[in-house]
Amino acid sequence: MPEPDTGPDKTAYEALDASARDYREESGQVGRLLEIMARLRDPESGCPWDIEQTFQSIAPYTIEEAYEVADAIERGDISELEGELGDLLLQVVYHSRIAAELGHFTFREVVLSVCEKMIRRHPHVFGTENRDKTADDQVRDWENAKAGERASSETGGGSVLSGIAVGLPALTRAAKLQDRASRVGFDWPDASHVLGKLSEEAAELADARGTPEHAAEEFGDLLFSLVGLARHLGIDPESALRSANSKFVRRFGSVESKIARSGRSLEKASLEELDAAWDEAKLEE
């Protein structure tokens, strides 16, 4: 059961606020942001909506802000990216403030923790290890370091797959699950073997179409195999699907414009006309 989010009394708030002011002297605008959050969460003079929020209620906004950062990057909108990164930082400050009110940890401790982690996982930069390694070598070392941390963690568990968040997007989680399993040799030898598995899964899906539950299971297996193919081709499946979504929106918008210029509505256009407009949109790109 999660702990109830009951905050401290006014004295404890004043102590937290003093800590935020001290941090402002060290870190400028970051400290100012901590002060703003302290004001928003003040039980006597803060914002009623902000005061009511908990880890659980804020978590969906945290996920949403991360997606908006990814969206700005996908669209190449650097100006918007600046604002979205600020919104994402606010989420970190928000969760840290709630944790501090409950006596768990502060924003300062969050920063210290990630600093220590980055130093610990980069001994080739901050230690004495040789830097003469490829990017793949560095990724492998990073994952080995994470595996060691999981093994020593009280909550890490004994499974190779422990620690991969259930709340990740399904395609991303599938890729991480497969990548983790591949490190102990549980993987297809190469992309050609995955293609064979795709054919097998597609056939099983075709056989299962009469039963919705079975079809859903086989469709999931097919998607999981597609993620495996993406990994072997060096493709991030989540990014690839986001790009495909953007391309569809762009091309469909072109179809809408073409049909509108002909004086007709999409509903009245024939499938042949829609296909022809789609093909034109593809050629224009």
93-110: pLDDT as tens digits: 999 999 999 999 999 999
Lowest pLDDT segment from 6-10, 63-67, 184-188, 260-264: 6-10
3-class secondary structure for the chain? Answer: CCCCCCCCCHHHHHHHHHHHHHHHHHHCHHHHHHHHHHHHHCCCCCCHHHHHCCHHHHHHHHHHHHHHHHHHHHCCCHHHHHHHHHHHHHHHHHHHHHHHHCCCCCHHHHHHHHHHHHHHCCHHHHCCCCCCCCHHHHHHHHHHHHHHHHHHCCCCCCCCCCCCCCCCCHHHHHHHHHHHHHCCCCCCCCHHHHHHHHHHHHHHHHHCCCCHHHHHHHHHHHHHHHHHHHHHCCCCHHHHHHHHHHHHHHHHHHHHHHHHHCCCCCCCCCHHHHHHHHHHHHHHC
Lowest pLDDT segment from 18-27, 156-165, 206-215, 222-231: 18-27
Query: Contact, 240 vs 231, CB < 8 A?
Result: no
pLDDT of residue 4: 45
Please tell me whether the overall predicted TM-score, pTM, comes out greater than 0.75 for this model. no
pLDDT of residue 142: 74
Question: How confident is residue 17, by pLDDT bands cut at 50, 70 and 90?
Answer: low
How far lies 135's CA from each of 68, 94, 141, in Å?
28, 34, 10
98-144 per-position pLDDT tens digit? 999 999 999 999 999 999 999 988 888 888 888 887 877 777 777 77
pLDDT at residue 5 is higher than 60: no
pLDDT of residue 134: 82
Query: Contact, 62 vs 55, CB < 8 A?
Result: no
> Of the ranges 11-20, 23-32, 65-74, 131-140, which is most confident?
65-74
